[in-house]
């Protein structure tokens, strides 16, 4: 009996100790330096042992709750004005340096997550930034098809815009936060949930996504065949320094695969170089320009860097001890699925050291390790060739944020869907509607960044995937309340899908914030095409959002094209008459249609309103796609 009492006492003591040690767990984003939304109910949530009592304290107030049977708990704090810093206490946990202000969710692909580090030459104010009242959190990548997640992965934190921390920021988030804080004095929180190269399908909840029959069919096909052919290069070690590539074909680089006659898929490239004694064993950097799509770069068999998607400059460190005097080998494994994959011309390809550099342009050896899988008839255009990734990024990078309160969403995506503009309109509308439903905010503002100018210009009117994608974005903006469209075909670069000018884009975004969120009577949009009237040999175009009136940004209006019944577009004369534009051409006596800024790179288009905001590209016809010998390079 005594022994029994001893064991019972020990068990009770252990249980008491376990109870005393039990701690609440908070989601990753509820952490030091966070920003919570002002003037709105704010949820604080987390997990604990079932039934555990939880107390939340903030700025002199407190709230009681307890964990449910599933271990989850939450409280809704009262609305709080902008200010801070404050402490947020959850039982024994203390979250420090909390600000209350405006909080935005920024999502999309790589232009949304372009790092500020890449912009410091253009904007020297970035490295000396000293603003602790704006904060950013970058949600770590988590692609979880079919598996909605309760929390995001560990490893990130909130960053402020002081000089010791600002290099962790994303460029658009930084410039928007700085613009908003300068104009309002209200703390700004930027939650960036984006992934370079991602398609819009990955960001839409699966139930909404599978309402599209082609996508539902794609999932069925993916589930039926999960395995893709193996890459011979990986199996046979084509990255090794001593691999014999003497039977490989040669090609001159940089060049697009289509120009070199190389089949898409996984393509390996190898180049022998002669390393001088001054570089022997020393650290160096390899600049591989820009590669489309993903790459792995090896030097003498050592992986020195990789990027999973098209766009960012490839600048990789070669560790000390890798290079040696004499013959060395650079190998590149290129995952080439884009319509125009390859080594992008007019970019630097070289190895740079302190006392010497080696040119990497010229002759390379190549071999295809795996050919691109053929799309099955009826499959969704542009869909991934294997597996089903639809909704995966929503599950892993948006679903865990359900209870965070946002002022609105800034969406910058479309490059990876540019070949399916007709489908994109429905997908973008589904994203806006589903996110508003998901966040229980039917009036949630959604600001859409229209694709910038990119790729070559042409001396004749063309049709364009990018123009059609911009049109899809425009249609969603026009038909969906409380959305804003930021036009930026003057902010891009012809040879870089990641333009550096995110500052002007941020200023235009903030105009929409002033209108949609702050209720200010401010002009946020450039002219938007409304209708046309044919008057003999002329077409008269009418517009909304003319602000103080239509203007030309510089000189005569440019980038208007006109066509007759034959559908052949030619450059047109365009003249502003009041709040209309009159378009004509002596080559088209009986016009039926007009297009404006209808190209990949229409940066010379110059129709604005008096407030200086660009007119969105548009067309008055609904013709199908007309290639006009245009090279399409649209995958990000």
> What per-residue confidence (pLDDT) applies to 219?
78
d(CA 136, CA 99): 12
> What per-residue confidence (pLDDT) applies to 476?
98
pTM listed for this prediction: 0.77
> What per-residue confidence (pLDDT) applies to 388?
61
> What per-residue confidence (pLDDT) applies to 381?
41
Q: Which of 248, 317, 322, 235 is nearest to 284 (CA)?
A: 317
d(CA 200, CA 400): 18
Could you tell me where the DSSP H helices lie in 446-551? 465-479, 502-516
> What per-residue confidence (pLDDT) applies to 629?
37
DSSP string, 9-34: HHHHHHHHHHHHH---B--TTSSTT-
Burial 137-171 (b: 16+ CB within 10 A, else e): bbbebbbbbeeeeebbeeebbbbbbeeebbebbbb
d(CA 25, CA 49): 10
DSSP string, 98-110: EEEEEEEEEEEST
> What per-residue confidence (pLDDT) applies to 215?
87
DSSP lists the bridge partners of residue 365 as 250, 270
Q: Where are the beta strands (DSSP E) in 144-248?
A: 158-162, 188-194
d(CA 416, CA 574): 33
Q: Give the pLDDT confidence of 37-94 residue by residue, as tens digits.
A: 999 999 999 999 999 999 999 999 999 999 999 999 999 999 999 999 999 999 999 9
Burial of 440 (0-12, 13-18, 19+ CB in 10 A): exposed
d(CA 388, CA 532): 43
Taking 70 as the pLDDT cut, the residues of the chain under it are: 1-22, 222-229, 373-389, 626-636
382 dihedral zone (left: phi>0; alpha: psi -120 to 50; beta): left
Token digits of residue 105:
């969710």
Q: What is the largest CA-CA distance in the chain?
A: 111
């Amino acid at each position: 009996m005594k022994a029994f009492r001893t064991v019972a006492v020990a068990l009770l003591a252990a249980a008491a100790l376990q109870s005393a040690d039990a701690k609440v767990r908070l989601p990753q984003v509820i952490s030091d330096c966070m920003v919570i939304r002002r003037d709105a109910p704010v949820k604080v949530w987390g997990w604990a042992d079932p039934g555990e009592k939880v107390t939340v304290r903030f700025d002199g107030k407190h709230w009681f709750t307890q964990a449910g049977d599933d271990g989850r708990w939450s409280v809704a704090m009262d609305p709080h004005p902008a200010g801070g810093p404050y402490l947020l206490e959850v039982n024994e946990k203390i979250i420090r340096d909390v600000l209350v202000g405006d909080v935005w969710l920024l999502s999309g692909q790589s232009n949304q997550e372009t790092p500020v580090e890449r912009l410091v030459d253009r904007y020297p104010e970035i490295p000396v930034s000293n603003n602790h009242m704006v904060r950013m959190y970058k949600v770590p990548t988590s692609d979880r098809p079919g598996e909605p997640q309760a929390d995001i992965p560990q490893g990130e934190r909130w960053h402020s815009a002081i000089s010791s921390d600002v290099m962790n920021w994303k460029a658009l988030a930084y410039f928007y936060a700085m613009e908003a804080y300068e104009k309002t004095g209200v703390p700004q929180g930027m939650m960036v949930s984006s992934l370079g190269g991602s398609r819009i399908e990955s960001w839409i909840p699966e139930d909404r996504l599978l309402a599209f029959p082609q996508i539902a069919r794609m999932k069925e096909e993916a589930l039926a065949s999960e395995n893709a052919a193996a890459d011979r290069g990986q199996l046979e070690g084509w990255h090794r320094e001593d691999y014999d590539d003497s039977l490989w074909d040669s090609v001159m680089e940089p060049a697009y695969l289509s120009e070199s006659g190389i089949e898409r898929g996984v393509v390996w490239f190898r180049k022998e170089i002669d390393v001088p004694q001054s570089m022997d064993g020393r650290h160096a950097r390899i600049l591989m320009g820009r590669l489309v799509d993903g790459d792995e770069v090896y030097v003498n068999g050592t992986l020195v860097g990789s990027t999973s998607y098209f766009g960012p400059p490839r600048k990789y460190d070669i560790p000390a001890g890798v290079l040696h005097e004499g013959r060395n080998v650079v190998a590149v494994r290129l995952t080439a699925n884009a319509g125009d994959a390859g080594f992008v011309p007019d970019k630097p390809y070289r190895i740079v050291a302190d006392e010497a550099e080696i040119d990497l342009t010229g002759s390379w050896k190549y071999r295809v390790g795996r050919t691109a899988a053929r799309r099955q008839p009826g499959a969704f255009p542009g869909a991934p060739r294997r597996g089903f990734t639809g909704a995966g990024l929503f599950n892993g990078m948006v679903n865990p944020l359900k209870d965070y309160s946002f002022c609105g969403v800034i969406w910058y995506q479309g490059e990876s869907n540019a070949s399916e503009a007709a489908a994109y309109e429905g997908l973008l509308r589904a994203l806006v509607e589903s996110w508003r439903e998901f966040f229980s905010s039917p009036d949630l503002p959604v600001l859409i960044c229209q694709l910038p100018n990119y790729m070559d210009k042409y001396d004749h009117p063309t049709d364009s995937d990018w123009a059609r994608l911009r049109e899809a974005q425009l249609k969603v903006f026009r038909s969906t309340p409380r959305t804003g469209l930021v036009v930026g075909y003057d902010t891009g670069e012809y040879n870089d899908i990641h333009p550096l000018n995110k500052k002007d884009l941020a200023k235009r975004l903030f105009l929409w914030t002033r209108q949609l969120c702050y209720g200010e009577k401010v002009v946020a949009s450039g002219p938007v095409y409304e209708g046309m009237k044919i008057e003999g040999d002329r077409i008269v175009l009418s517009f909304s959002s003319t602000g103080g009136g239509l203007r030309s940004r510089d000189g005569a209006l440019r980038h208007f094209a006109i066509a007759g019944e034959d559908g052949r577009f030619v450059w047109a004369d365009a003249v502003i008459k009041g709040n209309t534009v009159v378009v004509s051409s002596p080559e088209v006596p009986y016009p039926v249609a007009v297009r404006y800024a209808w190209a990949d790179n229409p940066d010379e288009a110059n129709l604005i309103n008096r407030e200086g905001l660009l007119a969105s590209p548009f067309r008055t016809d609904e013709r199908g796609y007309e290639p006009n010998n245009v090279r399409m390079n649209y995958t990000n």
